[in-house]
Structures are given as C-alpha cells and as structure tokens.
Amino acid sequence: MSAHINYQTIMAHGKPVFAVVPYQDFMRLIGPTATIPHEVVGLVVKKNYSLLRAWREHLGITQEEMARRLHVKQAAVSQQEAPGKKPRRATLEKWAAALGVNVEQVREQA
C-alpha cells in the first residue's frame, strides 16, 4: 500500500507494542470482509445459529422476507441457514447480496 497513513506508536520498555491508526485507514487496510458485528458473532456463539441465520436475525429480516429476496420458498431459507450446512459459493453470494453484505461476511470459516 503506497498511501500515507498517520499512526501513533505506543511503546513499552523501549519497544513498540501497539500502533494506533485512524479508523478509516484501519478499515481500508483490513477491507470490508473482516468485519462482522459483535451481535452477529454473539448469536453464532451463544445460540449456535449459522452465520446466515445470525445475519438475517441481526438485520431484522424474517424467513419469509428472505425467501422473497432470494426468490425461493421459506422452507429453502430454513434449510440453507440450518447449523452445520455448508452452502455453495453461489448460494452465499445470493444471501450476501440480499443482506447487503460481502460474501466473505457470510462464509463459515473452517
């Protein structure tokens, strides 16, 4: 990256331990794929929701509304967002577009 970034270095015992950067620069560095809201992660961890279901519920979207957005039946939404399911990339791309997020934000990590 060739853009200049203003940052602050925090030292401890004469050695750098933290770099503080403006949030806008931080987001540019990590990109949008690395961000998942705490509330979404909480639903995955505490309630064992799939990432798809957690995002949908976080955004206040019903299964019926999601089915309309995806042009499928509500039962298909229920199956796709079931814990342990591994939807194909094409399915994840459709969900991401319908939710207004990046596909990497709805992809379960191995």
Q: How many CB atoms are closer than 10 A to CB 68? A: 14
Predicted local distance difference test score (pLDDT) of residue 60 = 97
3 state SS for the chain: CCCCCCCEEEEECCEEEEEECCHHHHHHHHCHHHCCCHHHHHHHHHHCCCHHHHHHHHCCCCHHHHHHHHCCCHHHHHHHCCCCCCCCHHHHHHHHHHHCCCHHHCCCCC
Backbone angles phi, psi at 2, to 5 degrees: -100, -10
Predicted local distance difference test score (pLDDT) of residue 4 = 73
Per-residue pLDDT in tens (0 to 9) along the chain, 110 residues: 456 778 889 999 999 999 898 877 777 777 655 688 999 999 999 999 999 999 999 999 999 999 999 999 999 999 999 999 999 999 999 999 999 988 989 998 76
**pTM recorded for the entire structure:** 0.71
Q: Which domains does the chain have, with CATH numbers?
A: 1-30 (no CATH), 34-105 (1.10.260.40)
Predicted local distance difference test score (pLDDT) of residue 1 = 46
